Homo-oligomer: A and B are copies of this chain.
Amino acid sequence: MLSKNKIKFINSLKKKKHRTEQGLFIAEGSKLVRELLHNGLNALMLCATTHWYNNHTFPPGAKVSDRLEVTEKELQKISTLKTPPEVLGVFYIPAPTFHIEDFSGKLSLVLDRISDPGNLGTIIRLADWFGIEHMICSHDSVDLYNPKTVQSTMGSIARVRVFYRELTEVLKTGNQQMGFNVFGTFLEGNNLYTTELAREGLIVMGSESHGISPELHPFINRHIYIPSYPAGQAATAESLNVSMATGIICSEFRRREWVDTVDG
């Protein structure tokens, strides 16, 4: 049974303001909820049907404070999805500590003003695929715990650490103090396929409509560009979607390492 107050409380978490105040977010569906628990996230409560509880065991060590049995009708009242799944979890937002040193020797993503929740989710999912452990978003990017973002990460949100920081500071420190390579996409950049890349560094991706913010330009020392096809002709499509561009760039960085490994 779900009280009116609980329904109201869960629904309040659909807004960023309340998520931040409460330090909680919503995740739905068997696969996602189990993946979060499996990766050590703590749940304040699970709302699931009796059928679901009867058919699922929890991963060892799963931390769930409150296990509520609810009806499908009640799930409809709290779900963020058109077709509510059998389980909805309210999870504590983890608060990993940010140390620029943790980015040493690794490839990481920096997202400047990403506004679409689905794009952010897709980027987290591909970061997970390509073994990218850390991401940094500008403060004006969409919220990581927006239900659409959470759902579209397909569970990768539990493994990729996403920080919200003042990007000028991060890139300045990264580039000038830490000596990181800072890559960014620019129309007049070098051909991604033929230019030298690196095993480590930061890759800055800008918004589709506005590109990378001008104040970040001074700290980007490696300009790259995804060439369209055929070579030597202007692209007919104006641009690639930002998550697509991120995927293609990450793939090329990882391909180089693959080829190096095979050659070595």
Residues in A lying within 8 Å of B, measured CB to CB: 118, 122, 125-126, 128-131, 154-156, 159, 191, 193-194, 226-231, 235-241, 243-244, 247-248, 251-252, 254-255, 257-259, 261-262
Contact = CB atoms under 8 A, between A and B. Distances in A.
Nearest to A158: B236
Nearest to A129: B237
Contacts of A128: 235-237
Contacts of A236: 128-129, 156, 159
A122 to B, nearest CB: 6
Contacts of A240: 125-126, 129, 247
A1 to B, nearest CB: 33
Nearest to A227: B258
Number of copies: 2
A126 B237 CA distance: 8
A19 to B, nearest CB: 22
A125 B241 contact: yes
A125 B155 contact: no
B125 A237 contact: yes
A191 B248 CA distance: 16
A132 B7 CA distance: 49
Contact of A238 (B155, B193, B241): B155
A129 B235 contact: yes
